[in-house]
Amino acid sequence: MKAVSIRKTGPPESLESGEEPIPKAEAGEVRIRVHRAGVNFADVLARQGIYPDAPKMPFIPGYEVSGVVDLVGSGVEWFRGGERVAAFTRFGGYAEWAVAKAPFVVPLPDGIDVSVGAAVPVNFVTAYYCLFHTGTLFPGDRVLVHAAAGGVGIAAVQMAKGAGAVVFGTAGSAEKVAFLKTFGVDYPVDYHTEDFVEAVRKVTNGEGVDVVLDSIGGQMLARDLRVLRPGGRIVSLGLAAAAGKNRALMLRELMSAPRLQPVKLLETSRGFFGVNILRVFDHRPALGSVLLRTVFDLVAAGKARPVIASEIPLSQAAEAHRLLQERSTIGKVLLVVRDQ
């Protein structure tokens, strides 16, 4: 089968296209004939060699796919073959066939095409988990979403607004800020031309926000603390600040994150959560399965919907990685593996 693999660390061009064996569906697994594969920052960081959960090289990246069930392993009773599905794959998605554990495979609702299907699993589950399991969002809360025009950001904005929150969103260009205004963000901020700390404090009369979703990491987290009101929670879910940098700059970015002191958090009644959605699926698989079905129910009901930025042929995966690490797109980047 055709696949894209990571055989060495490096820039986007270090991704390699080639032929790989078609994977088997072992007990409890489902094999999917892939139509679309989602591209995520975790893939970018894995290619750079700084993603701790990445398999030993060489490996095929890709956390999420959509397509058609091709084969089921023993013990799988709710798929027979031929069903349109989306799945959380835990690597292996950049290929013509991919395998996933059966609980992490979801039938695509009527009216949901394969592009939308591949754009939902990682971003929407991450956003939902951050807002409602760690962020513990309540109606009327103020939420700050960094990279609000990205895949997770767009999902989080819709879910937060649906829950009755007031949403602040940061983005890195006038085009993205204009998009956020039309998308329902109450207070969009261009972080290249405006200090989001000052903007948030001005709007809230110095009070700050209740929940911060930070996919940037590094020194951004120290600034998040300056806008977090008592009872507030920072949810750290990524390290986009390190993407595309050489190893020295990546290490500098990692070291720039503040050292949190539990006593200080206690005194100010504030909290900090770290979210790696892969760990949730690994160690709480029943919850991961429920989360997948929950977010697809939201999408099917029209309460949330991904924005597709680009659909790029599998053979041009390097271009997809470049777009993502340069943060030059609005919404989700997908790989087109085959036509429907």
Count of structural domains, the chain: 2
CATH of the domain at 96: 3.90.180.10
Q: Are both 242 and 107 inside the same structural domain?
A: no
Per-residue model confidence (pLDDT) at position 218: 79
Q: Are both 133 and 213 inside the same structural domain?
A: yes
Q: What is the largest CA-CA distance in the chain?
A: 60
> pTM of the predicted model, to two decimals?
0.94
Last residue of a domain, one of 278, 298, 320: 278
Cβ atoms of 306 and 332 within 8 Å: the answer is: yes
Q: Are both 332 and 227 inside the same structural domain?
A: no
Cβ neighbours, 10 Å, residue 26: 12
CATH of the domain at 222: 3.40.50.720
Q: Are both 98 and 139 inside the same structural domain?
A: no
Task: Report yes or no on 294 lying in a domain.
Answer: no
Per-residue model confidence (pLDDT) at position 270: 85
Q: The tokens 């991961």 sit on which residue? A: 288
Q: The tokens 């777009």 sit on which residue? A: 323
Helix, strand, coil % in the chain, rounded to nearest 5:
35, 25, 35
Task: Report yes or no on 297 lying in a domain.
Answer: no
| 246 CB-contact burial (10 Å; exposed 0-12 / middle 13-18 / buried 19+) | exposed
Q: Are both 312 and 325 inside the same structural domain?
A: yes
Last residue of a domain, one of 233, 259, 278: 278
Distance of CA 24 to the CA centre of its chain: 27
Per-residue model confidence (pLDDT) at position 246: 62
Q: Could you report how far apart the first and last alpha carbons of the chain are, in Å?
A: 17
Task: Report yes or no on 188 lying in a domain.
Answer: yes
DSSP string covering 66-121: EEEEEEE-TT--S--S--EEEEE-SS--SBSEEEEEGGGEEEPPTT--HHHHHHSH
Task: Report yes or no on 285 lying in a domain.
Answer: no
Residue 233: domain span? 123-278
Task: Report yes or no on 54 lying in a domain.
Answer: yes
Cβ atoms of 284 and 133 within 8 Å: the answer is: no
Task: Report yes or no on 256 lying in a domain.
Answer: yes
Per-residue model confidence (pLDDT) at position 134: 92
- Distance, in Å, from the CA atom of 239 to the CA atom of 233, rounded to the nearest integer, reads 18
Q: Are both 104 and 160 inside the same structural domain?
A: no
Helices marked H in the chain: 41-48, 114-119, 121-129, 151-162, 174-183, 196-203, 220-225, 247-255, 262-268, 277-283, 285-300, 317-325
Task: Report yes or no on 242 lying in a domain.
Answer: yes
Assign 159 to helix, strand or coil: helix
Per-residue model confidence (pLDDT) at position 31: 98
- pLDDT by residue for the chain (340 residues), tens digit each? 999 999 999 999 999 999 999 999 999 999 999 999 999 999 998 999 888 889 999 999 999 999 999 999 999 998 999 999 999 999 999 999 999 999 999 999 999 999 999 999 999 999 999 999 997 899 999 999 999 999 999 999 999 999 999 999 999 999 999 999 999 999 999 999 999 999 999 999 999 999 999 998 878 888 999 999 999 999 999 877 666 656 655 566 665 667 777 877 778 888 899 999 999 999 999 999 999 999 999 999 999 999 999 999 999 999 999 999 888 899 999 999 998 6
| 272 CB-contact burial (10 Å; exposed 0-12 / middle 13-18 / buried 19+) | buried
Amino acid at 106: V
- HSE-up of residue 30 (Cα within 13 Å, Cβ side): 31
Q: Are both 130 and 205 inside the same structural domain?
A: yes
Element (H, E) at 3: strand 2-5
Element (H, E) at 2: strand 2-5
Q: Are both 130 and 49 inside the same structural domain?
A: no
Q: Are both 109 and 144 inside the same structural domain?
A: no
Q: Are both 155 and 96 inside the same structural domain?
A: no
Q: Are both 105 and 198 inside the same structural domain?
A: no
Task: Report yes or no on 238 lying in a domain.
Answer: yes
Q: Are both 144 and 213 inside the same structural domain?
A: yes
